[in-house]
Structure 1
Amino acid sequence: MIGLKIAIPNKGRLSEDVFDLLQRAGLTITKKERSLYASTHDGNYTVIFVRTQDIPNFVQDGVTDLGITGFDVVQETEANVESILDLNFGHCKLIIATKEESPFDNVEDIPDGAKIATSFPNLTKSFFDKLGKKVHITEVSGATEVTPQLGLADIIVDITSSGTTLKVNKLKIIGEILKSQSVVIARPDVLENEENQVKAFIRALKSAMNAEEKKYLMANIPKAALDQVKIFLPGLNSPTVIGLLGNEEMVAIHVVVEKKQIYDSIDKLKQLGATGILILTVDQMIP
C-alpha cells in the first residue's frame, strides 16, 4: 500500500456519497469487485474499504491514517481520533423513541428500570447516566424499530434521518441525543507527522465541496452595463472582464455564481443586453 491510507465505508448510501466526493475531488479510484483496497490514480492515497462502525478503530490503531465515517459512530466507539472536516452529507439524528400509545412524552417521563434497545449502547448509557436514570440497555445489531412491538424494549435509541421508518413502526420521538453527519477523522500523531499530506487531502475535498453549489457564467455584455453587473454578480472578488476583438462596445465577463442565483442572474443580464450566455459546471474551486 502506498501513500496516505484512508478507510471509507465498504457499502451503503454513505459509501456511495464518499466515493462520489473523492471522484469529484480528483481522487479517482478504480474499485474492483470484492477488492478490499484501491489506490488513487495519482498514487498518493490508498483507500481501504471496511465496515462503517470499524473505521474509528482502524484509524486509532494505526491500520489507516484517516477515515471517513459518521460522527455518531465516532462518538459511540470512543476512539482516540479527531474529527477534522465535516462533509455536509449523511445527516441524521440519534433519537429516543417509544410506542405512539406510550404514556412517555419526553425523556424525563422514562422510569428507572425501563428496557432500552439500541445499536449505540455507549452513547445511550452515557446519556441516561447524566440524567441519573437506571435503565436496562439491550444491544441489538439491527431492526431496532421492531423491538418495542416484540416486547423486547419499552424504548429505542436509534439513528433516523427522515423519521419514515419510525412512523411505519408506530413510534414517536421523545428525545434526541446528538446530531450527526459524515466526517473525516485522523489520529493526533498523523496530523503532526503527515501534516502536508493531510492538508492536501482536505484541500482536495474542500475544493469539490465548495464547487458543488457554484456555476461558472460567461456572457457578452455592453461595456456601459459593467457597473450594474458588478452589483448583482460580485463573483469571488469581482467579475473577470475581457475585451472583444473588433467590438469596442461589448466585453465578455466570466464570473462564479451561486447555483440558486443562476437563473435570476441570467434574467438581469438579458435585461442589460447580454448575449452569448454560457453556464458551466465547476468541478473544483480552491480559494
Structure 2
Amino acid sequence: MLRVAVPNKGALSESATTMLREAGYSLRLNSKRLVHRDVENDIEFFYLRPRDIATYIGRGILDIGITGRDLLLESESEAEEILQLGFGRSAFHYAGEAGVYSDPAELAGKTIATSYPVLVEQDLARRGIDATTVKLDGAVEVSIELGVADAIADVVETGTTLRMAGLETFGDPILVSEGVLVARSGFDKPGADVFLRRVQSVMVARSYVLIDYDIHRDHLAEAMAVTPGYESPTVSQLNDPEWCAVRSMVEAKDSHRIMDRLYSAGARAILVTAIDACRM
C-alpha cells in the first residue's frame, strides 16, 4: 500500500486536499484523524506538520509527500522535489524596518531572526555576508521591536503582516517557493506511477479547456493553426460537406483570446468546456 504524507493544516493542507479529491482519492472527514486509508485505491494518507513531511520521506518511513519547497530545502533531508504543484506560491525575503535597508550586503555584522536558519545561512554564505541567525518558531516580525534581531528573513505572501509591523522587504528573494511533491531519490514502489499520473492529470485539467467550433473547409487550416491541440485537434465532417466541426484542447488562460481569433477566421458556434478529469 502506498503511504502518502499530506499537510495537516494551513493553506498547503487545503490546496493539497482539493487536489487529491479531484484526483479521485477518498480523504479523511474528521480533521482530528491522523491516518486515513483509501482501500479502493490501495493508498494510505498520513496527516503531518508540513515542516516534518520531508524528514519522514527522506528517511523512507513514508513514500511520497506534499510540502513546500522552502520546507523541503530547510529540512536538509534525502527527499527531493519530483513535481511542482502550482499552489501555495510565496517568496522568502529579508525584511527590516522601513527605510533602513536596501541591500542584503548591509546585513553584515547584524542579527537575523528566522524560522528557516538553514536557508538563511546558506544564502548568507553564497553572498559572502558574515551575520548571525536566531531561530524562532514563528511571529518573527516582532523580533526587531523586541530587540532580538536587527532584521528578519521570512516567507512573504501578501506582505500585509510585514507592513502592519512597520517592516519592508529588500533585495531579491532568497527563494521562490510553492507546494511540491517529494520522494526519496531513486524511489520506486508499486502504485506510485498511478498516483503521480493522477496528480499530473489534475494539473492538466485545471490548466486546459476543450474548445469546439464549426469552420468552413476553406478556413480549416487557419483555424487549426490557432488550436493545434495537446497533440492534434479532432476534425469531424458536418452534414454540410463544406463545413467541419473541430475539437481541441487549449490553455484556459488564453481561451477568450483564442475564441476571438477563431471568430475572425470564420469559426462559428464556438464553445468552451471545462475539463473535470483526464489522462494524458
> Who is 2:135 aligned against?
139
Q: Secondary structure at the match of 2:191?
A: helix
Do 1:222 and 1:272's aligned partners in 2 also have CA atoms closer than 8 Å?
Answer: no
Structure 1, residues 258-277: CA drift from partner, whole Å, max 9, x if none?
22332233334445554443
Shift of 1:63: 2.8
Unaligned 5+ residue runs, structure 2?
Answer: none
C-alpha RMSD of matched pairs (Å): 2.3
| Corresponding residue number in structure 2 for 1:73 | 71
Indicate if the aligned counterparts of 1:70 and 1:182 stay in contact, CA closer than 8 A.
yes
How many angstroms does 1:172 deviate by? Answer: 2.4
Name which of structure 1's ranges 227-236 and 149-158 shifts more when overlaid on structure 2: 227-236
Shift of residue 59, structure 1, vs aligned partner: 1.2
Indicate conservation of the 8 Å contact 1:98/1:171, yes or no.
yes
1:153 alignment partner in structure 2:
149
Partner SS, residue 82 of structure 2:
strand
Structure 2 SS opposite 1:158: strand
Matching residue of 2:116: 120
Report the AA paired with residue 64 of structure 2. L
How much has 1:64 moved relative to structure 2? 1.2
TM value normalised by structure 2: 0.89
> Secondary structure at the residue paired with 1:220?
strand
Whole-Å separation in 1 of the counterparts to 2:250 and 2:90: 29
Q: What are the Cα deviations for residues 164-189 of structure 1, in whole angstroms up to 9, with x where unaligned?
A: 32222221223432221211111235
Give the structure 2 partner of residue 223 of structure 1: 217
Distance 1:266 1:152, change over 3 A: same
CA–CA distance in structure 1, aligned partners of residues 98 and 222 of structure 2: 57
Give the Cα separation in 1 of the matches to 2:184 and 2:165. 39
Tell me how far apart the structure 2 counterparts of residues 133 and 250 of structure 1 sit (CA, whole Å): 68
Note if contact 1:29-1:41 (Cα within 8 Å) is conserved in structure 2.
Answer: no
Q: Identify the range of structure 1 (167-176 vs 122-131) with the bigger mean alpha-carbon deviation.
A: 122-131
Letter in structure 1 aligned against 2:114: T
Cα distance per residue 1:39-85 (max 9 Å; x no partner): 34632321111111110111123331111101111111111111111
Q: Structure 1, unaligned stretches of length 5 or more?
A: none
Aligned letter for 2:155? Answer: I
1:132/1:276 Cα in 2 relative to 1: closer, same or farther (>3 Å)?
closer
Code of the aligned partner of 2:223: V
What letter corresponds to residue 237 of structure 2 in structure 1?
G
Measure, in 1, the Cα distance between the counterparts of 2:185 and 2:262: 50
Q: Evaluate the alpha carbon distance shift between residue 232 and residue 149 of structure 1 in structure 2; reply closer, same or farther with a 3 A threshold.
A: same
2:81 and 2:182 in contact (8 A); partners too: yes
8 Å CA contact 2:210, 2:248 repeated in 1: yes
2:244 matched residue in structure 1:
251
Which AA in structure 1 matches 2:192? V
CA distance in 2, matches of 1:270, 1:133: 58
The answer to whether the 8 Å contact 1:30/1:40 transfers is no
The corresponding residue for 1:183 is: 180
Comparing 201-210 with 67-76, which one deviates more in the overlay?
201-210
User: Taking structure 1 as reference, are residues 111 and 240 closer, same or farther at Cα in structure 2, changes over 3 Å only?
Assistant: closer
Q: 1:252 to 1:127 in 2, by over 3 A?
A: closer
CA distance 1:129–1:260, change in 2 (3 Å): closer
| Contact in 2 for aligned 1:86/1:181 (Cα 8 Å) | yes
Matched, 1:110 2:87: no
Q: Is the 8 A contact 1:241 1:252 kept in 2?
A: yes
Letter in 1 for 2:152: I
TM superposition shift of 1:119: 0.7
The residue number in structure 1 matching 2:206 is 212
- Letter of the 1:155 partner, please give it: A
- The answer to whether the 8 A contact 1:27-1:41 is kept is no
Distance in 1 between residues matched to 2:265 and 2:108, nearest whole Å = 68
Question: What fraction of aligned residue pairs are identical, expressed as a percent?
Answer: 31
For 1:15, which of 13, 26, 33 is the aligned residue?
13
Q: Count how many residue pairs are aligned between Structure 1 and Structure 2.
A: 279
What letter is aligned with 2:71? V
Instruction: Provide the C-alpha distance between the structure 2 equivalents of 1:171 and 1:93, rounded to a whole number of angstroms.
Output: 16
- 1:41-52 to 2 correspondences below 5 Å: 42-52=40-50
